[in-house]
Amino acid sequence: MIRFAHTNFNVLDLKRSLDFYREALSLTEARRIEGSDFTIVYLEDPAKTGYLLELTWNWDRKKPYDLGEAEFHLAFTTDDFDAMHEKHRKMGCICYENPEMGIYFIKDPDGYWLEVLPE
C-alpha cells in the first residue's frame, strides 16, 4: 500500500510564508526540522487529513526560485466557497478565476499557485 505524504515548496522568507498560509488557508505547523543551514516546516490543514505541505527555507538563498511556467498547483476544497473567495479577494492574492468551472487560484508569496474549489 502507498499513499501521499506531502508536497514541498521552497520559500525565500519562512515567516512571510507561514503567515500567508495561516491567514489564507488556516494551515498550521505540524512539525519542524532545523538543519545547519535550512529549516523545514510541515503544515497541516484544519481537518488534519494527514496530507502535509512542506516548506523548505534554505537560509542562504537570496534569489527567487524558478517556477518555470507555473503549470503545477495544489488544490484545496472548502465548505464555504463564497466566504473563502471574499477573504482571498480582500487579501489581494487571487491570481486567476474561472467562474465557468466554479474555481479560482491564489498565489503565495513565492509565486506558487493554489486552487480553491467547493467540496
DSSP characters for 60-77?
Answer: T--SPP--TT---EEEEE
- 103 has pLDDT over 80: yes
Domain spans in the chain, listed from the N-terminal domain onward: 6-61+71-118
Coil/strand/helix, residue 43? strand
Angstrom distance (rounded) from CA 80 to CA 89: 14
Q: What letter does residue 97 receive in the DSSP assignment?
A: E
Interval 93-118 mean pLDDT: 96
Phi, psi of 47 (to 5 degrees): -80, -10
Determine how many CB atoms are found less than 10 A away from the CB of residue 37: 9
Model confidence at 95, in pLDDT bands (50, 70, 90)? very high
Determine how many CB atoms are found less than 10 A away from the CB of residue 109: 15
Model confidence at 70, in pLDDT bands (50, 70, 90)? confident
Q: What per-residue confidence (pLDDT) applies to 114?
A: 96
Interval 39-44 mean pLDDT: 98
Which ranges of the chain does DSSP label H, i.e. alpha helix? Answer: 14-25, 81-91
C-alpha cell at 49: 487529513
Mean pLDDT score of the chain, rounded to an integer? Answer: 95
Interval 89-106 mean pLDDT: 97
Q: What per-residue confidence (pLDDT) applies to 1?
A: 84
Q: Which amino acid is at 69?
A: E
Instruction: For domain 6-61+71-118, give the fold.
Output: 2,3-Dihydroxybiphenyl 1,2-Dioxygenase; domain 1 (3.10.180)
